[in-house]
Amino acid sequence: MATPLTTTTELPIAAVEHELRALWQAAAESDAVSRASLFNLVAVTATDAEYDHVTTTIRKLTNRHPCRAIVLRAGDDDTAPATAQINAHCHLTGGGQKQVCCEQITVHAGAPQLPAAMLALLEGDLPVVLWWPGDLTRQAELFRQLSALADRVIGDTSHGAPPATAPAAWFTDISWLRLAFWREQVAEFFDEPAARALVPAIESVAVEYTTRPGAARRAGLLAAWFARQAGWSARGAVRRVRLALSASSETTDAGVLAIELRAASAWWAVRKDPAECTVTATVTLPTVCGLPRKRSLWPGDEPTLISWALDETTPDPVYPRVLALAARLLP
């Protein structure tokens, strides 16, 4: 079935809403198309490749998270009038008899004009989620302006340090979500009272990571998370944590290969098998015989992670406490 919404020409920003109403009205007459939108999703792209990646991701997201997507593309001419194009992402539902569609509005303008263009296109009374692909320190002033207009910001510290000025909006770090599987595996070690009692005796944490971009930052986040959960001071964490770069170039999951916790009489480890996309968790305790457990890795693709972020209903209170310590642990 053909996509019911598309414009092949550039529209003035002021004409976008009128064009959308006309396109939706024409699509609705077929009784085979309906529109859905629960929030505004705003994304900023810097290159053609990034634009293609963002559009592909939005197409996948709208299957579970219907929204109005506004993709901002900064041009070189700050004086040229802002223009937009419209297309739709549609998914079959109801036994394949009907399409549910969400619009994507792509805006072309100079960076100084993008915040005003975004405001003009937001669907009223719906939350605003800003997704910032790529380096969070890129176009710092534009990031500051757009994040001030958003209810939530989704970014990935794999691509660069967190912004110097934290957004006032609720910030979700994709790197942190990539580590959810690893954090769960480690936390399960301490479900046993005998293991929990040994937490104060843990003397060291070692995280092995790969050459994958951003893996070092994620290794630091994982080690810092355990240090905070164990109640270590920043100085104690720096002394006890070791981050080790592996020569491995495997690209699955978070770029973390293993984490090991050691006490004088106990040892815990989670190690990945890249070939199987699994991890094996092992434990040695003085009074408990623990058999190794093997688990399959969770999906780690960006659309899935952003979908998880959108499913969250409250900010993670642990992340802000971990972030500053992670920066101190990096080599």
Instruction: State which of 168, 198, 226 marks the end of a domain.
Output: 168
Domain-embedded: residue 68: yes
Pair (153, 226) in one structural domain:
no
User: Average per-residue pLDDT in the chain?
Assistant: 89
- pTM > 0.85: yes or no: yes
The two tokens of residue 33 are 């198309």
Q: How confident is the model at residue 127 (pLDDT cuts 50, 70, 90)?
A: very high
Amino acid 81: pLDDT: 86
Q: What is the DSSP letter of 39?
A: S
Pair (135, 199) in one structural domain:
no
Mean pLDDT of 9-33: 83
Length of the chain: 331
Pair (210, 76) in one structural domain:
no
Domain-embedded: residue 2: no
Which CATH number is 69's domain given? 3.40.50
Own/partner long-range contacts of 8-15 (Cβ < 8 Å, ≥24 apart): 8/85, 9/85, 10/83, 10/84, 10/85, 10/108, 11/83, 11/84, 11/85, 11/86, 12/81, 12/82, 12/83, 12/84, 13/82, 13/83, 13/84, 13/107, 13/117, 13/120, 13/121, 14/120
Instruction: State which of 98, 133, 168 marks the end of a domain.
Output: 168
Pair (263, 296) in one structural domain:
yes
Residue range 214-256, pLDDT digits in tens: 899 999 999 999 999 999 999 999 999 999 999 876 666 678 9
Pair (251, 311) in one structural domain:
yes
Pair (254, 189) in one structural domain:
yes
Residue range 152-183, pLDDT digits in tens: 999 998 887 666 655 667 899 999 999 999 99
Pair (41, 159) in one structural domain:
yes
Amino acid 1: pLDDT: 41
Which CATH number is 220's domain given? 3.30.360
Overall domain count for the chain: 2
Pair (244, 282) in one structural domain:
yes
3 state DSSP class of 286: coil
Question: CB–CB of 174/156 below 8 Å?
Answer: yes
Pair (19, 95) in one structural domain:
yes
Residue range 33-89, pLDDT digits in tens: 778 899 999 999 989 999 999 999 999 999 999 999 999 998 888 888 899 999 888
Question: Token match 């997704």: residue?
Answer: 131
Domain-embedded: residue 126: yes
Domain-embedded: residue 3: no
3 state DSSP class of 300: coil
Residue range 269-300, pLDDT digits in tens: 999 998 888 999 999 887 766 678 999 999 88
Instruction: State which of 137, 168, 199 marks the end of a domain.
Output: 168
Domain of residue 58, residue span: 11-168
